[in-house]
Structure 1
Amino acid sequence: MVSSVDDALVQAREAAELYASNGSVASAVFHADKARTLSDGDARDVFALTELLVRDGQHARALGVLRASGLDLKLARGRLLAARCLHGMRSHEEAVRALDGGAEENSDDDARARYLALADGSPTDAAAMCALRGKAHEAMESRSKAVRAYEMALRFDPMCFEAFEALLATHLVNEHEERELVASLETNKANTWIKDVYAVMGNSREVHSELARGHVEGEEDGATTPEPSTSALDVLRYNGDVRVACARRMYQRGEFTACHSELRRQFEREPSRLNGLPLYLATLVELGKKNDLYLLSHSLVAEYPKKAVTWFAIGCYYMVTRQFDSARKYFSKATSIDPSFVQAWIGYGHAFAAQDESDQAMAAYRTATRLFSGTHIPVMSLGMEYQRTNNLSLAFQFFRKAFEMCDSDPLLFNEYGVLRYRQGNYEEAVENFERALDLAPKPVGSRWESLIVNLAQAFRKIGRYDEAIATFQSALLISPRNASTYAALAFTYQMKSRCSEPVSLGLAIEYYHKALSLRADDAFSQHHLELALIDQSAITIPRHQQVEWDTMFPKVEDINAVTPTFGIASSPQGGILFPTPSPHSFQGTPTFGQTPFSARVDRMDESVDMDQSVDMDESE
């Protein structure tokens, strides 16, 4: 018995849908192709076959099916599918032309009306077309047009996460622009929660949302079930994307242990979640957990050998073990697999910088700046490299540019404070160090110990010795075995003793001894300890009795009868003959004049002032 066309068509359509739902794409394509033939090119079957072919990566065949039916020009769905096929074939210019339907309009209102018309009046289809247009422009490195297309997609439909994710992944907008975009989204009562989710998942450090809280109250290391709630935000607080976003803010604040714990809990629930892996790897680098990096890298090689994050993980392991040549090799491989992997580009530059290869490091940072124009990390890294090579004018320009992108990074304020210090603008250096300290996480950890030392050095330079001493002592509470901090504290006491309190010399000597007990070969502490001891001797040894000069010269025979004692000859008349100046016969302190002490102040600045650190980000 032969089946009728109608019965065969129904069976073919059902089989295509069933196999598509269970992941058997090849079987689904086979039956969808038969359904298209049986229906004589019905639009429903053409679209079903085309979508399956796109899903299977057969873009050229899918485009041929669409063009043969003529639906690529008649309907918005066909136009969108044709553009997807062209984008998959890397024909980006043709994809843009297919989506624009001609020339792109200049004003936003005209463009919005035109795109909505091309989408047959459907805001959802218009948003999808704009998002695809943005991807095509980004592939052609027309970043300004890509940003405009993504923003247009979100204004058509704020639920179009594809557009928002593209803006985040490649850092096409800075933090200020991102906050403005999220605030401008038009939502209704049912989907207003999406603005909170976007705000938390964004790259901006300033978030005003209940979802931005770090650890969920009552949550332990094991999995928990949230209590029933009628508020969408209360339930969404347990979502994986929100938890990863909260962990990223912990990392940005320098709370690496808390970030590590949060991510570990999330990965126990969702072991296959890849979007939090770069952050987790960066946290392991900051904590120095090389064993965890080693095991995780091996598991990623076995599971995802073609993913860029796998080779980024191996590069992170070699960074922790200080094998920078190998780290560069694997970071480079990660960028070749995925050129939009911003963390790999930053790590690539850091690996060069760790070996003082400034030219190659700056080349990597410049590439990252060009590809990811919305993040300040590569720009700040360029400024740090120029500062390290003593090109302060260029360092100043890059730091100012970084401030335009982000004004809430404590590391940026610290590095700019170092620059102003080196330029001799100590008051402004103090302002930037204090601002960095305000932005740093509380309580201040060992990561920011160098910032506190920098602030103390700037206080010393402007003569605020009491504040400098208190700040140095705060740094010693964080890192009590830092010889350079003890030497800097001793030097501050020594400077204070010269200006107002001679009794501070005793404390200076004490702290010089502590510095030398921790680092016996510290030439600075040795030299200034000697000077402090000389000054202390001048204060504590009693002054010699002042005597009158005897201008009556004795006879020669009287001189021969005199036995000199300790370099001073006594005459029978009781006068002093040929006085020999003793090195201890001064009434003042010789170090107040032009001595080696005053010439060594610059050396002090070089040895203990600024511990300039390079942060591995963000990645950022």
Structure 2
Amino acid sequence: MAPPQASTPLNARATPSPFDRNHDLPHLRNGKGRQYDQSNTSSLSHEQVEGLRRQSNLSTLSLSPRRPSFAPSAAARTRRTTPLPFSAGADADESSFLGQSVDEGAPWTMVDRMRNWRNDAMTQHLYDSAKFWGGKVLGMTGNADDAFWLAQIHFLTHQFAQAERILTSPRPPLAASTSTAAPVRLTDMSLACRYLAAQCQVRLGKWDEALDMVGRRGGLGQDFGDGKSDGGIKLTASAAHLRGLIHLHMKANELAKEAFMEALSRDVKCFESFEMLVGGEMMSSEEEWDFIQSLPYHAQTDEDAEFIRMMYTVRLKKLSHSNDMTIARQRLSDEYGLGDDPDVLCSRADELHSSMRYAECYKITGHILARHPSHRPTLPLHLSCLHHLPNLRSRLFLFAHDLVENEPDDAISWYAVGLWYFAGKRWEESRRFFGKSVLIDPRFGPAWLAYAHSFAYEGEHDQAITAYSTAQRHLPGSHLPMLFIGMQHLGLANVALAEEYLLAAKEVCKDDPLVLNELGVVALHNQQFDIAVQYFRETLGLARHAQSSPASWVSTQLNLAHAYRKLKQYDKAYPAFRRVVELDSRCAAGYSGLGIVEHLRGNFQDAIARYHEALSISPGDPITCDLLKLALDEVSAHTARNAHPFPGLPPRVLQSLDEQVAALDAEILAGIEPEPLEGERSAAMDASAVEEGMSRSEDMVEMSFEGDEDEDDGDEGEGETMDMTGG
């Protein structure tokens, strides 16, 4: 949906924006395109239009006051009368770009000295002094540059309305201008004034007016090889970045993405736009890589091109192009001495975190935060490591407490608190703090995902899907929300929907092994076992390529083993299950899988042993109990079919046991009292002998009792006074 159109204020002229697509400047086509379109610039004089055109490569460095030159030569004393570069009709040559003296070697005037006082007072935060002298300079010169600096002082002191009035109030034309046009606004003559006025309007909540000031659309499809600047950030790039922020506020994410890409293309040094695109997950992994590598580094900063490109490269996503990033980190360390730079170290930490090597990642993030406690890209990684390592939960509590105490208005602080409750499985309390975090910063991705996870772990699948969908709107370049939505649909047995979301996640990021694992699970549900084996093997291959810990992928190895079992490839299933047990000796499902394979092979005793091992780890598991019962029943049936000998019977009995049993059945049916079988006779003889021996022993015991009674009768009193010591 297109952003709403801004209404034109009464008594105000509709000033064409130099940033508008319909009024692109000729430099956007490297001087090979059409001339500057003046069809809608009738309210501006030719000098004003030309002045705006020449300012497209400038930065605010060219507005700095001229500096004194010591011991000027006689030849250097020739006074130049060129206006300041951001004034209407400015010449804007290279010397003015570099902030050099316009009047080289000329003695300082009173205006020059007051300009120096103004900027020096602003640098020392003496804003009242800066306003005082800046107001006097503007009153004496009426120059757009002086208006810019005075408005800048008001902006720094949060007097946004006053700054906007200075920049947008109509003023009489400059004395140098030969035009007889009506008074014009400074924003019609100076890109710097236009940009600063838009910044003021943003702070005042005038979003539509600010968008009109910087232009609603940019020329993204045009050639931005618009020449080198003075080393500062080009104002056209800053204006494009501001346009992107305004579009983000208006929920026009595609227009915002376009504006940020334009800003980076106009000036590769505009790091804010890079951070919004990459840190804000606005681009997919491959799209991000292709765009960053294709920026005109050499065309804009030939000497520093490789350095800027490598610094941006190490900040990209770590699931692909890991070799290129490793080379970039090595070169930054060797050639520029940035081996201990927080951004370079954070790149390595992020790579370890993506590989689920949390202990190693924690060592690097701890080192970074020890030297740079507020390095924002490192904080979410550090908190995640504290959550995943169980022995560090107490440190997570202390770290979250420090963050809230020092930065109570930061989204990361409340995210850390929610993460501590999440680690304790207190889902509802963690969700409250995650919600507070996303209210502070709606584009903070980790908090959105953790907020949705709290619903998922609580079993609230529908609410979890809604939260993941919201995260997807805020993070359009991330594949994780779609991945987790697919996992939730799998939990709800919506296999078709799950596959649709998982394939969409794979389109965004094809190098995430977790996506391939979930697609393999979908194939298992669909009984496409060959496809499932392929997905699981690809998953394990990507995990090895990323140097991930094999123990992190036990579930994938288990899924692969079951897929082999379903294909009846027991020779592959058995070693796969053995690998599961090697990676996790407490995995009951691995022992159960080994038991199933042995059971299917007919090795019942081994199967029963594996089932018992599984039940020793997970007692009462219903599936394993059922499998064990089936195995025991199979053993019993097999024993009955093969007439295995019963323990304790002599061999001569076992030779004719079946015949004797059959004869006994016939005699019972004929009504004849059966004679004892051979085995029974021998058993009876043994029993009679035992009984006889028992009776003899009982007689002996009785005789002994009688003798004792006689002795007691003869000496009854001594029995009562028996000496227990034997004396």
- TM-score of the superposition, structure 1-length normalised? 0.79
1:73 aligns with 2:175: no
Structure 1 residues 563 and 35, CA gap change in structure 2 (3 angstroms): farther
Hey, what does 1:63 align to over in structure 2?
164
Hey, what does 1:252 align to over in structure 2?
354
SS in 2 for 1:203: coil
Hey, what does 2:584 align to over in structure 1?
479
Residues 574-585 of structure 1: pairs in structure 2 closer than 5 A: none
Contact 1:408 1:439 in 2 (8 A): yes
- Partners of 1:487 and 1:510 in 2: CA distance: 10
Give the paired residue count. 537
Query: How far is the alpha carbon of 1:356 from its aligned partner?
Result: 0.6
- Partners of 1:178 and 1:47 in 2: CA distance: 36
1:511 aligns with 2:610: yes
- Partners of 2:233 and 2:187 in 1: CA distance: 19
- Partners of 2:145 and 2:532 in 1: CA distance: 68
Structure 1 residues 47 and 107, CA gap change in structure 2 (3 angstroms): closer
Structure 1 residues 28 and 453, CA gap change in structure 2 (3 angstroms): farther
Hey, what does 1:175 align to over in structure 2?
285
Structure 1 residues 488 and 26, CA gap change in structure 2 (3 angstroms): farther
- Partners of 2:356 and 2:130 in 1: CA distance: 50
Hey, what does 1:271 align to over in structure 2?
373
Structure 1 residues 262 and 538, CA gap change in structure 2 (3 angstroms): same
Structure 1 residues 29 and 394, CA gap change in structure 2 (3 angstroms): farther
Which shifted more, 182-191 or 356-365? 182-191
Hey, what does 1:600 align to over in structure 2?
none
Query: How far is the alpha carbon of 1:30 from its aligned partner?
Result: 3.5
- Partners of 1:462 and 1:557 in 2: CA distance: 54
Contact 2:486 2:501 in 1 (8 A): yes
Hey, what does 1:313 align to over in structure 2?
416
Hey, what does 1:302 align to over in structure 2?
405
Structure 1 residues 25 and 413, CA gap change in structure 2 (3 angstroms): farther
SS in 2 for 1:529: helix
Contact 1:32 1:48 in 2 (8 A): no
- Partners of 1:555 and 1:365 in 2: CA distance: 80
1:435 aligns with 2:559: no
* 2:150 partner amino acid: L
- Partners of 1:314 and 1:329 in 2: CA distance: 10
1:347 aligns with 2:413: no
- Partners of 2:418 and 2:219 in 1: CA distance: 45
Structure 1 residues 550 and 525, CA gap change in structure 2 (3 angstroms): closer
Hey, what does 1:206 align to over in structure 2?
320
Query: How far is the alpha carbon of 1:520 from its aligned partner?
Result: 2.6
Hey, what does 1:490 align to over in structure 2?
595
Residues 175-574 of structure 1: pairs in structure 2 closer than 5 A: 175-188=285-298, 189-190=302-303, 191-203=305-317, 205-207=319-321, 211-212=325-326, 231-232=335-336, 235-288=337-390, 289-440=392-543, 441-442=546-547, 444-495=549-600, 497=601, 502=602, 504-536=603-635, 542-543=642-643, 559-563=671-675
Query: How far is the alpha carbon of 1:31 from its aligned partner?
Result: 4.3
- Partners of 1:352 and 1:32 in 2: CA distance: 59
Contact 1:456 1:472 in 2 (8 A): yes
* 1:281 partner amino acid: L
- Partners of 2:530 and 2:636 in 1: CA distance: 35
Contact 1:214 1:247 in 2 (8 A): no
- Partners of 2:154 and 2:483 in 1: CA distance: 45
* 1:244 partner amino acid: C
Query: How far is the alpha carbon of 1:161 from its aligned partner?
Result: 1.4
Contact 1:452 1:474 in 2 (8 A): yes
* 2:284 partner amino acid: N
* 2:621 partner amino acid: D
1:20 aligns with 2:116: no
Structure 1 residues 255 and 558, CA gap change in structure 2 (3 angstroms): closer
Deviations 1:129-165 (A, max 9, x none): 2122122112212122122222222222222212111
Hey, what does 1:616 align to over in structure 2?
none
* 1:336 partner amino acid: L
Structure 1 residues 182 and 557, CA gap change in structure 2 (3 angstroms): closer
* 1:212 partner amino acid: T
Contact 2:355 2:549 in 1 (8 A): no
- Partners of 2:478 and 2:126 in 1: CA distance: 39
Query: How far is the alpha carbon of 1:383 from its aligned partner?
Result: 0.8
1:125 aligns with 2:226: no
Of the three residues 76, 95, 103, the one matched with 2:210 is 95
- Partners of 2:586 and 2:351 in 1: CA distance: 30
* 1:444 partner amino acid: S
Deviations 1:383-430 (A, max 9, x none): 111111111111111111111100011111111111111121111111
Query: How far is the alpha carbon of 1:90 from its aligned partner?
Result: 3.0
Deviations 1:492-514 (A, max 9, x none): 2212x1xxxx3x33321221121
Query: How far is the alpha carbon of 1:476 from its aligned partner?
Result: 1.3
Hey, what does 2:102 align to over in structure 1?
none
- Partners of 1:415 and 1:390 in 2: CA distance: 13
- Partners of 1:87 and 1:106 in 2: CA distance: 22
Query: How far is the alpha carbon of 1:373 from its aligned partner?
Result: 0.8
Contact 2:356 2:549 in 1 (8 A): no
Contact 1:311 1:330 in 2 (8 A): yes
SS in 2 for 1:39: helix
Contact 1:196 1:209 in 2 (8 A): no
* 2:584 partner amino acid: S
- Partners of 2:623 and 2:287 in 1: CA distance: 49
Of the three residues 149, 152, 158, the one matched with 1:48 is 149
Query: How far is the alpha carbon of 1:543 from its aligned partner?
Result: 4.0
Contact 1:214 1:246 in 2 (8 A): no
Contact 1:130 1:152 in 2 (8 A): yes
Structure 1 residues 489 and 91, CA gap change in structure 2 (3 angstroms): farther
**Max radius of gyration: which structure?**
2
Structure 1 residues 8 and 532, CA gap change in structure 2 (3 angstroms): same
Query: How far is the alpha carbon of 1:216 from its aligned partner?
Result: 7.5
Contact 2:233 2:267 in 1 (8 A): yes
- Partners of 1:267 and 1:557 in 2: CA distance: 94
- Partners of 2:551 and 2:193 in 1: CA distance: 58
Structure 1 residues 365 and 132, CA gap change in structure 2 (3 angstroms): same
Taking only aligned residues, the RMSD between alpha carbons, in angstroms, comes to 3.4
Contact 2:234 2:267 in 1 (8 A): yes
Structure 1: which 5+ runs fail to align? 1-5, 218-225, 569-620
Structure 1 residues 307 and 35, CA gap change in structure 2 (3 angstroms): farther
Contact 1:176 1:204 in 2 (8 A): no
Structure 1 residues 214 and 413, CA gap change in structure 2 (3 angstroms): farther
Deviations 1:512-541 (A, max 9, x none): 121122223123323322332343456678
Deviations 1:221-246 (A, max 9, x none): xxxxx98x5x24xx334321122122
* 2:630 partner amino acid: L
Structure 1 residues 215 and 456, CA gap change in structure 2 (3 angstroms): farther
Deviations 1:306-341 (A, max 9, x none): 111111110111111111111000000011111111
- Partners of 2:589 and 2:253 in 1: CA distance: 47
Contact 2:520 2:533 in 1 (8 A): yes
Which shifted more, 457-466 or 205-214? 205-214
